[in-house]
Amino acid sequence: MLEDMALRNMSPNTQKVYVYAVANFARFFGVSPDKLGLEDIRLYRLHLIERGLKATSINPIVGALRFFYGVTLDRKDIATDIPFARKEDTLPAVLSASEVMQLLEAVSSLKMRVALTTTYAAGLRVSEVVTLMAKDVNSRRMVLHVRQAKGRKDRYTLLSDQLLLILRRYYKISRPQLYLFPGSEPSQPLSTRAVQRACRKAADEAGLGNNVTVHTLRHSFATHLLEQGVDIRVIQQLLGHRHITSTARYAQVATDAIRQIQSPLERLIIDENLAS
């Protein structure tokens, strides 16, 4: 399976997720996964649902099983009969500008605070911010170079004046050698889990509720840009979205933009009797 994924140039993170998912599937039944079939997959999915997993958690597992059966075992008859779970059409969680400040001010660690600030300022995924290198900060062109992001694609996103100032101050204090936000080993990046934990702790201390994650900062970045009137296609490129529909979701939560829209009712001359 590892060779099949490597041949298809799948990202290391996807390979890790897929191997872990198939291993858990096999462990659940206590036998090699190539000895299991559609009925076993159905029972395992019911088990995942009973555990309370949502479609967003189940679908990566489905993707792994479809790949394992369809590619590694060449059992496309099984793979095509493993449907993805239908996702709930929920709105992304978004913080206001003042809530973003509350969150960042509640982070005690300098490294974590700057990492989360960078996430919001540039609209990064957590996996992207931890793998940023010092050389990715281009102060001449005022862009951040995001390397091998989702879909194994490079892209540029914006580097604001404030973020550049913050990063320069951080660099003078921390002196990172390779990764901008190194882990316990200087040659290795900070773990995504560590950043998630720091964000969760800060959200609790700031009283922002249980729905705030690192990805909430990315949602907030996109929504705030929309509210500023930035073209949605520009935001699509900054976020690295393949499809515009992914970016369009933020239009549903851009409340400042919604408030500025005039209802067609306002163009009518309303008789006061209609309201009585």
Catalytic residues: 125, 150, 215, 218, 241, 250
Going by C-alpha positions, the residue among 217, 241, 243 that lies closest to residue 153 is: 241
Going by C-alpha positions, the residue among 89, 84, 37 that lies closest to residue 58 is: 84
Is the separation of the CB atoms in 39 and 28 below 8 Å?
no
Helix (H, G, I), strand (E, B) or coil at 45: helix
Rounded Cα–Cα distance for residues 86 and 89 (Å): 9
Per residue in 184-222, is it b (16+ CB within 10 Å) or e — as a string?
A: eeeeebbebebbeebbeebbeebebeeebbbbbbbbbbb
Tokens 């879909």 correspond to what residue? 151
Rounded Cα–Cα distance for residues 31 and 172 (Å): 54
User: Which residues, 6+ apart, have CB-to-CB distance to 217 below 8 Å?
Assistant: 95, 100, 103, 116, 119, 120, 199
Is the separation of the CB atoms in 214 and 196 below 8 Å?
yes
52 — alpha (psi -120 to 50), left (phi > 0) or beta?
A: left
